[in-house]
Chain A
Amino acid sequence: MDCHDCSQSCQPKRHNKAWKLFGFGSKKSSKNNSSIDSQTTMALVGSPNVGKIERIVIETQAGMSESLTFAIAQSRHQLAMALEQDVTVQPQQQRAFKHEWLHQLTVHPLTGIPILGLVLYFGVYQFVGVFGGGTLVDGIEGFFESEINPVVNNVVAAIFPWQVIQDLFANDYGIITLGIRYAVAIVLPIVTTFFLMFSLLEDSGYLPRLSLLVDRLFKTIGLSGRSIIPLILGLGCGTMATLVTRTLESKRERIIATLLLALTIPCSAQLGVILGLLSQEPTALFVWATVMVAIFLGIGFLAGKIVPGNASCFYMEIPPLRLPSLKAILTKTYVRLKWYFGEILPLFIFASVLIWAGKLTGLFDALVGGLEPVMLWLGLPKEAAPTFLYGFFRRDYGAAGMFDLHSSGILAGQQLVVAAVTLTLFIPCIAQLQFMFKERGLKNTIVIASFVVLFAFSLGYLLNQLLTIMELSF
């Protein structure tokens, strides 16, 4: 391609200097200009060329009404367009507007918001919560309890005569009977259904439309529509979502999103268990949901006021709506699950070992003992203390523990609501904390984490008092 020729034919004359400046011009100037970066500028200091280049930049700028960057980008774009028109043929009837009506439905506020409601209700509540967290978990969990755990307990008891070693692998807190069971029976079905749904939304092109719908609302909490993607992903896994916040535009937006992810967004295991448990009591579910939405908006609003930085801007390309391919969705879900399990399975096993060691040394009992007054303060039974301690290791681990407590009839009614709210708000799991540290740095992580712990317990206390005063029964 002859650059010089082309620039002559398709560029306005006044852009010629800028054109040359960025290497599209004669050999001499391109030699000079390929070196305009900080490193080589340093090397060139003192050379007569620097002054020459600076003079060219200033002179060129003086002859133009807009900035140089603008002119250069414009010129490049025009060149690209001219090239494209040269080599492509456009069919008269383009089918670019194939799903136009569907697009209009999803982005119009009057129809888009009900559609969003339907997506959340069927996609998250019915599919992930009721089907994944209810039907599938009950089935697999029941199978584990009745078929696998007794066998494991017996086999381990037959191999190792010592109680201590038996407890490491089997019984109440064993690696297989607790760690693997939580991972496979409770977390796996919920996370799988969530990732399936998320991949479907992602591939259909719905998520950018969702961003567009919520942008105005999100501006009031210091975010932009773009942040809905990590936040929705956070409903699947807060750790993965914290990693994804790096796609946000400003540092301020990243900090607010990280805080909201740590504090208010329940991960899919939590969500599945909580929806599963509370859906039997519509009032309880309503209270939990209202409290979470209120905290999300309230804390977001305050964070938007407090966190320094400029207000965020929103721009996003809206790709056409597409019918996703099943293969792509399955592949994506598989890859995410692989990442997820690679991340959590060792932690689950590690947590089981830690609990085992903690029980053996009495450290675990001491910690649980320390948490018990806090539980009573929240109006919870002291048996809930271990669950909160598990939540420290993995959020989903804590949620899974709550599921156990409820099935054994220890946690019910008002306590269930208070426990659900506190556990949702409570400290992000170790993995999420680790990613917060990686992405946001030590200072932000400490500030966010201590705020989250304090806030969770204070709010749990207040909620318990409030529910008692209001004499709400569930």
Chain B
Amino acid sequence: MFTQGFSVHYSPLNFLGTKTQGIITAIRNKDDKIVKKLLSMGIHTGMQITLEQRFPSFVIRVGRTRIALDKDIASSIKVRVTTRN
């Protein structure tokens, strides 16, 4: 428990498997506009995120919203995994 609290383990959303849950730790994209769009849709650091689907598009659930993303945008969301099924 104690060690877990200190292990900073985060990876881009597109590296995760379906049904993974996690906390968003960062949103980074070379295109600032995309970051802004994600923010305006309610995707923020510190929020809980669930990856529902990977193909044909990424489908995530953040808060009460469900959002479809392509791979490029998915890779800009970094997640600290909390559960793995």
- Which residues of A pack against B, CB within 8 Å? 66-67, 69-70, 73-74, 77-78, 96, 107-109, 208, 211-217, 219, 224-225, 313-320
Given A213-B56, A313-B73, A315-B37; A208-B68 close (CB under 8 Å) = yes
Q: Looking at the complex, which one of A313, A316, A320 makes contact with B72 (CB distance below 8 Å)?
A: A313
Set of chain A residues within 8 Å of B67, measured between Cβ atoms: 315-318
Bound: A217/B14 CA distance, A: 18
In the bound complex, do residue B38 and residue A315 qualify as a contact, i.e. CB atoms below 8 Å apart? yes
Bound: A396/B17 CA distance, A: 49
In the bound complex, do residue A96 and residue B36 qualify as a contact, i.e. CB atoms below 8 Å apart? no
In the bound complex, do residue A212 and residue B42 qualify as a contact, i.e. CB atoms below 8 Å apart? no
Q: Residues of B within 8 Å of A, CB-based: how many? A: 30
Additional A-B contacts beyond A74-B45, A216-B57, A315-B68 (16; CB < 8 A): A67-B32, A70-B27, A73-B36, A77-B39, A107-B59, A109-B56, A208-B68, A212-B56, A212-B57, A224-B70, A225-B70, A313-B70, A315-B41, A317-B41, A318-B68, A319-B66
Residue of A nearest to B66 (CB): A318
Q: Looking at the complex, which one of B26, B36, B44, B66 makes contact with A317 (CB distance below 8 Å)?
A: B66
Kindly supply a per-residue 1/0 record for chain B positions 54-82, scoring 1 wherever the CB is within 8 Å of any chain A CB and 0 otherwise: 01110100001111111011000000000
Bound: A67/B28 CA distance, A: 10
Residue of B nearest to A215 (CB): B57
In the bound complex, do residue A314 and residue B55 qualify as a contact, i.e. CB atoms below 8 Å apart? no
Question: Is the contact region of chain A dominated by helix, strand, or loop, or is it mixed?
Answer: helix
In the bound complex, do residue B34 and residue A313 qualify as a contact, i.e. CB atoms below 8 Å apart? yes
Bound: A394/B37 CA distance, A: 39
Bound: A215/B27 CA distance, A: 22
Question: Is the contact region of chain B dominated by helix, strand, or loop, or is it mixed?
Answer: mixed
Most buried by A among B57, B65, B72: B57
In the bound complex, do residue B27 and residue A96 qualify as a contact, i.e. CB atoms below 8 Å apart? no
Given A109-B56, A215-B57, A225-B57; A315-B36 close (CB under 8 Å) = no
Set of chain A residues within 8 Å of B39, measured between Cβ atoms: 70, 73-74, 77
Q: Looking at the complex, which one of A73, A109, A211 makes contact with B68 (CB distance below 8 Å)?
A: A211
B37 to chain A, nearest CB (A): 6
Set of chain A residues within 8 Å of B66, measured between Cβ atoms: 317-320
Set of chain B residues within 8 Å of A319, measured between Cβ atoms: 66
Set of chain B residues within 8 Å of A212, measured between Cβ atoms: 56-57, 59, 68
Given A77-B42, A96-B64; A70-B35 close (CB under 8 Å) = yes
Set of chain A residues within 8 Å of B35, measured between Cβ atoms: 67, 69-70
B56 to chain A, nearest CB (A): 5
Bound: A315/B72 CA distance, A: 10
Bound: A211/B67 CA distance, A: 12
Residue of B nearest to A67 (CB): B32
A87 to chain B, nearest CB (A): 16
Set of chain A residues within 8 Å of B27, measured between Cβ atoms: 70
Residue of B nearest to A112 (CB): B56
Residue of B nearest to A73 (CB): B39
